[in-house]
Amino acid sequence: MNPCLAIPLYDHGETIANVVESLAKWDLPCLIVDDGSGEPTRLQLERIEARHPWVEVVRHPHNRGRGAALRTAYECAAARGRTHVVQIDADGQHDSADVPRFLEVAKAQPGALILGAPIFDESAPRYRLYGRKLSQVIVRLETRSNVVRDPLCGFRCIPLVPTLSLLERVSTGDRMDFDPELIIRLVRSGVPVVNIPTKVRYPEGGVSHFHMVADNLRIAWVYVRLALGFPWRTVGAAPTTRRREQ
């Protein structure tokens, strides 16, 4: 097993330094995919990359969405010989102290998809909790199983071989719809799932790029087309440019 960390990011300049510092003790290489952030965040990432030799920043010239950033992270990690990606969000919601727990399970079950099962505190907005419960029910119906406790948590350990094989065969959404779609498709393809309880908090003043109407509609459409077997092709995806060659 040859893992790395991956952080999809868009204009999280105020939180990313603390997230990176919290990951330093685990002695793992880290890919940060900057999904077209503005200049303040770009400058912050340059400082982080200069300070931490284990961090590499990969950049999209324009914002393409969370799903596109995660696909880039998986592809870059595989190109660098990595077998697993532990992905964590850039906004400070996730407890980086749990990274070793994800890696321990991945070592024991290298072919498994390892998902964070959130333990929320009082900072979690109620409307987010209701939306997650609805997604949990729908994903159980979509997969005909109870193996996925939460399809939306961004703290995950991704086995790259089955994931990239799947992404070569099908096109997916580029934005917030990517996370639940990937899980449903991997479960349907026979990838085993392990759920790890992990604390999730919503920091005061934190930046969220989840658009309540647009992203909920995207996620709802994912559930509909997967349930009915509708085809899907992504369009208008710009090629990735990187600050370093793969």
**pTM (two decimals):** 0.85
pLDDT tens sequence for the chain (246 residues): 999 999 999 999 999 999 999 999 999 999 999 999 999 999 999 999 999 999 999 999 999 999 999 999 999 999 999 999 999 999 999 999 999 999 999 999 999 999 999 998 877 767 667 777 888 888 898 899 999 999 989 999 999 999 999 999 988 888 878 999 999 999 999 999 999 999 998 766 555 666 556 766 777 778 877 877 765 544 333 333 333 333
Amino acid at 117: A
3-state secondary structure of 10: coil
- Backbone dihedral angles phi then psi of residue 95, each to the nearest 5 degrees: -90, 100
Give the integer Cα–Cα distance in Å for 178 and 36. 18
- Helical H segments across 57-98, by residue range: 66-79
Within 10 angstroms of residue 243's Cβ, the number of other Cβ atoms is: 13
Within 10 angstroms of residue 133's Cβ, the number of other Cβ atoms is: 11
Residue ranges with strand state E in the chain: 3-9, 30-35, 55-60, 84-87, 113-120, 156-159, 193-200
Tracing tokens 């850039």 back to the chain, one arrives at 90
Rg (the chain; Cα; Å): 17
How confident is the model at residue 213, as a pLDDT?
Answer: 63
Is the distance from CB of 100 to CB of 180 less than 8 angstroms?
Answer: no
How confident is the model at residue 244, as a pLDDT?
Answer: 37
Any bridge partners for residue 199, and if so which? 119
Indicate the CATH number of 3-228 among 3.90.550.10, 3.40.50.2300, 3.40.640.10, 2.40.50.220: 3.90.550.10
Give the integer Cα–Cα distance in Å for 162 and 106. 14
Question: By C-alpha distance, which of 207, 200, 210 is closest to 14?
Answer: 207
